[in-house]
A and B are shown apart, each in its own frame.
Chain A
């Protein structure tokens, strides 16, 4: 995730202090991982250096939190470009689970157990997310769903690999 773009996007609603931005970010996207102040200020000074934000007044007193930041035209263009550029689809070709299964087969261990243990851990995580989603608001639901669909994709792979384990065992033995 590009924090710079997220902060720029939040600044499009109007100028704000670093603290306001951190709070707005945490409220909307922070979930389990709120931002550190350090991250916010490092990112803001980079945006400032690149001309994507500018200072919009400093209140009396000291400390970095006194500065207000406003997005520049270049910043708006940058956010716009980011929004319309698709993210690179991640194919996850280098898969730890596949490596574990093959190594289990190579060493004569129970590969089915490796898959089943993983499966149980995945479903456990899915149950947790489902509980959170059921009690949550729309933002929680959408964020949990995103994770749920990804875990489900892994689980389908685990299922399919379990079904193909005999085939894979023969192939690995060659």
Chain B
């Protein structure tokens, strides 16, 4: 069943077109990689799909509802409750401990501190970083920090997780660890994942890939 779809998206930043007719659809629980060279528009596509950016033209539908017709409030609620995000550099709050970082989305949704931190701890265990729970992000390694960021994305049980170069700042071994744990957790919760990456080895974890070139997505049929 299609969960998220975008058709004929256009987006320009000033005179520079970033998207020029990109489209994509994601099924429930599906892992899709968006690939393409730097500046091809793949991150812009991700941001439009996630309702962070509003396209100049074209539509994004989530569960059949056009994001463009939603109020700003409804869109940001969607981002808090149904969507999860993982970025290249964790973007954790440096003043908070790792467990507080993971619990934060739940706290913002009104969950009591103790419950939020209990669930956060479970996710830290799932991502095999329970040992850094009390540490601040600055005291963890890149790989650990990124797994904490994944835990934070998963803690609200989102239906779609958007990941923008989640392993971009990590070496092969740590990147692989993050991807394996991340995608195992996503599959276990049946969350769909939209994964932006320029690394073929990362894209190979996805069920299929979409290539973005010059702001257009190319769907390449597979031989097998």
Contacts and interface: CB of A to CB of B under 8 A. Distances in A.
B209 interface: yes
B93 to A, nearest CB: 32
Interface string A112-127: 0000110111111011
Contacts, number: 47
A126 B205 CA distance: 9
Contacts of A116: 211, 218, 220
A53 B88 CA distance: 56
B224 A124 contact: yes
Given A152-B200, A163-B37, A127 B221 contact: no
B180 interface: yes
A122 B204 CA distance: 10
A124 B211 contact: no
Interface string B184-224: 00000000000000011101111101010100001011111
A129 B223 contact: no
Interface residues on B, range: 10 to 19
A59 B199 CA distance: 56
Given A134-B180, A155-B200, A127 B220 contact: no
B215 to A, nearest CB: 15
B223 A119 contact: no
Interface in A107-150: 116-117, 119-124, 126-127, 129-130, 134, 148-149
A126 B37 CA distance: 19
A156 interface: yes
A120 B223 contact: yes
B166 to A, nearest CB: 15
Interface in B1-41: 37
27 contacts: A116-B220, A117-B223, A119-B211, A119-B220, A120-B220, A120-B222, A121-B222, A121-B223, A122-B200, A123-B200, A123-B203, A123-B204, A124-B222, A124-B224, A126-B203, A126-B204, A127-B204, A127-B206, A127-B207, A129-B204, A130-B201, A130-B204, A151-B200, A152-B200, A156-B200, A159-B37, A162-B213
Q: What 10 A-B pairs have minimum CB-CB distances, sorted nearest first?
A: A126-B204, A120-B220, A130-B204, A155-B200, A152-B200, A127-B204, A121-B223, A116-B220, A120-B222, A124-B222
